[in-house]
Structure 1
Amino acid sequence: MTKEVLKDVVEQDRQMLVSLVMSNMDRGVSTQSETRNAQLQNLAVLGLVIAYVVWQFSTVDMNIWRGWSIEEKLFRLVPANWNAYEEALAREPLFVKSVLTGATYFIGDWIAQSVENKGKNRDPLLIDRWRLLRNTVLGFVLLGPIAHYYYDWNASWPFPWFFKLFIDQTSYVPFHNTIYFMSLELLAGKRIGEAWKDYKGKFWDFLFAGWRLWPWVNILTYTIIPIRHRLLWVDSLEIVYAAILSLLANEKDAKETPAGPSSEQDSPPPPPAAPAAVEAPSSLSHHTEQPAHGHTRVDVHADTEGGGGGGAGEQHLIDPAAVITPETPAVDEQQRNVVTR
């Protein structure tokens, strides 16, 4: 197989992958029916997620409910769920922390897209599900495991907390931002060179966003939060950071990608303003008739100072092109093309 044929095969596979992970929302919703379908599907996804979380939270003690009253079940919900989390964390720490980070980036990207929709005056349910899925998968597959190993490794350092905080902000945050942006762009179908070029233009925006939040959070992280709960503590606040990262990562695409139908597009355009009326001089009254040769005869009667009734005036032939209409701007009297018989 020649190099050119192999290159074509790789490009075809890449295009097929892009078509799988991209949606109409990535390219811009173009019709009203696509918008309605997207809204209904997004509402169904959100409903299923909320129903699953509520069910898991409310039935944590279902296997020992026999004989319990409703008050006993409600009273036990919070401590029972915390105990279930502790048990799962001790049993499968990597999986639990990955799920937590995946949920963090799911919620964060949903918030980011809602903010974008509000800025564009679009329906809040017009969420790009594939972009949401890319963020969730990225949090579960990459960012969660990285954070798990990083915080365990960080806890083993024989250094004071402020040194750990310094390393965190100068090394881990830029590394985290780079992994997030590059992976998200590649999942969206962009090439490595194109993604890296975009990231270089946003590197400092990402870093400054992290520096505004994490130094204050990690003062508590490295002083009073237990090691096994550090990722839970960080993820609870990383929802805001995930929303900020998603907004920054999709800022260029949001400007260039055509948006779906908005309420501004659905409303009819305002009617044109009525043209200003042309006032005729109060001292002149006109009587027109249409003679031959395409000219208009105008009898102009000038009011005398003392008469009030007015006498006969002169008759003029006026070129129709020079007659002032509401659509024609008024011109100076000397510029009129008046042909005197």
Structure 2
Amino acid sequence: MNFFLLFSSFSYVLYTILTIDAGSSRGWTLQESLYRMPYDNWRNYEDALELAPVETKTAINVVIYLLGDWLSQTIFRKGDPLTFDASRTLKNGLIGACFGPAVHLYYEWSDAILPVEEGFNRLFKILMDQTLYLGVKCSVYIAAVGLLNGEAPGEVSAAVGSRIRPVMLTAWKFWPLVHCCTYSVIPARHRVLWVNCVDLFWNAILAGLSRGGEGGAKEEEGEDKAEGVTDGGLP
């Protein structure tokens, strides 16, 4: 089943990327096709972002949540790519779908109240990201994971209370520097994509830390799961 899920998912993605110019590439050489492929895929993404920003960002969020969870269970822990909990990965994707619109709205609201072009707003946006937004989103994510796993409300509340502090402390060592770039050189419409991509590296860091010891692994497991909280991890 795991092999089927991976094979079908990666085959679909590869097919979509390689056939982007299927309607206009007749007569093109292989070199011309390879040259145009990156540009035309990016143009297709830009067009989708223009026509349906929420749906497009949500789809990206789901992909990153699914990919990030699979990588954190396998490749980042130097394990077998086929040995992973598919139900956990699919649950993570479901949470990613729910967070997608919320993340889009947050960035829109953040830009409205704190335009990056004015004064010290970049600093204020990073502070807001790493306090209010980070705390709420991580808490909701950890609670969602617990509820989807069938835990009782009391257990979910205890999990949030025990995991939120180490998650935030670890995030503060990484994300503020990332967001210096997020709010300076990344266009507003691409911030969700940027943060999602960086989140894959964040997953790798957490997975590496979790191999440092059993206690660390338990602590980082909570961080690893809360990782889906960025727009793919932590914001």
The verdict on a shared fold, with TM-score over 0.5 as the criterion, is yes
Relative distance call for 1:115 and 1:82 in structure 2 (3 A) is closer
| Bigger relative contact order (CA 8 A; separation at least 6) | 2
Per-residue CA deviation, residues 39-75 of structure 1 (Å, 9 max, x unaligned), is xx21221111111111000111111122222221111
Aligned AA (1:177): C
The SS at the match of 1:125 is coil
Instruction: Report the structure, 1 or 2, having the larger helix content.
Output: 2
Per-residue CA deviation, residues 283-339 of structure 1 (Å, 9 max, x unaligned), is xxxxxxxxxxxxxxxxxxxxxxxxxxxxxxxxxxxxxxxxxxxxxxxxxxxxxxxxx
CA distance in 2, matches of 1:156, 1:174: 21
CA distance in 2, matches of 1:185, 1:116: 23
The SS at the match of 2:186 is coil
Aligned AA (1:200): G
Give the 5 Å matches for 1:1-341: 41-114=1-74, 118=78, 123-141=80-98, 143-158=99-114, 160-242=121-203, 244=206, 247-249=220-222
CA distance in 1, matches of 2:48, 2:75: 34
What 5-or-longer segments of structure 1 have no aligned partner?
1-40, 252-341
Per-residue CA deviation, residues 223-252 of structure 1 (Å, 9 max, x unaligned), is 12111111111111112345649952398x
CA distance in 2, matches of 1:110, 1:76: 30
Deviating runs (4+, > 4 A) in structure 1?
Answer: 115-118
Instruction: Report the structure, 1 or 2, having the larger strand content.
Output: 1
User: How many residues of Structure 1 are paired with residues of Structure 2 in the alignment?
Assistant: 207
What 5-or-longer segments of structure 2 have no aligned partner?
208-218, 225-235
TM-score w.r.t. the length of structure 2 is 0.81
2:228 paired residue number: none
Once the 2 structures are TM-superposed, how far is the Cα of residue 146 of structure 1 from its aligned partner? Answer: 1.5
Per-residue CA deviation, residues 159-197 of structure 1 (Å, 9 max, x unaligned), is 521111111111111111111111111111112221111
CA distance in 2, matches of 1:150, 1:83: 25
Given that residues 104 and 242 in structure 1 are in contact (C-alpha distance below 8 angstroms), is that contact kept between their aligned partners in structure 2?
no
Aligned AA (1:81): N
Identity %: 32
Relative distance call for 1:115 and 1:76 in structure 2 (3 A) is closer
CA distance in 2, matches of 1:114, 1:250: 16
Q: Whose Rg is larger?
A: 1
Relative distance call for 1:247 and 1:145 in structure 2 (3 A) is farther
Structural RMSD (CA) = 2.1
Given that residues 61 and 96 in structure 2 are in contact (C-alpha distance below 8 angstroms), is that contact kept between their aligned partners in structure 1?
yes
The SS at the match of 2:184 is coil
CA distance in 1, matches of 2:56, 2:86: 24
Per-residue CA deviation, residues 115-147 of structure 1 (Å, 9 max, x unaligned), is 6865xxx64421111001000111122x22121
Given that residues 112 and 247 in structure 1 are in contact (C-alpha distance below 8 angstroms), is that contact kept between their aligned partners in structure 2?
no
